[in-house]
Amino acid sequence: MSTQNDRSPDTTRVYAWLCRDADGIEGIVAAPTALGITALVSTDRARAEQLRPFAQVAGRARGFPVHLVAFERAPGPPLEEMIF
């Protein structure tokens, strides 16, 4: 019997706004929202671009440039699947 959870995720690319601090440590940019602090990531490039103003404000507040990067899923099955 097969269920929806038996197949690989459809997402093949994730976009994230990153910055590097003065010590050279990279991290995902986050911004405050009504839900709390939210990482500025998306599986859709257009949505990631909509997050640009928030990333820029966060970067300016800390004094670090921000960069939009794409991460691609490696071929094959997921490394781990979490079911909630």
How confident is the model at residue 80, as a pLDDT? Answer: 73
Residue 19 has pLDDT above 70, yes or no: yes
How many angstroms separate the CA atoms of 32 and 53, rounded?
A: 13
pLDDT, tens digit, 9 for 90 and up, residues 35-73 = 899 999 999 999 999 999 999 999 999 899 999 999 998
Q: What percent of the chain has pLDDT over 90?
A: 61
CA 32, 38, 39, 44 dihedral sign is negative
pLDDT for the residue 71: 94
Phi and psi dihedrals of 28, rounded to 5?
A: -80, 135
The reported pTM is: 0.76
Give the pLDDT band (50/70/90) at residue 82: low
- Exposed / middle / buried, residue 40 (Cβ in 10 Å: 0-12, 13-18, 19+): buried
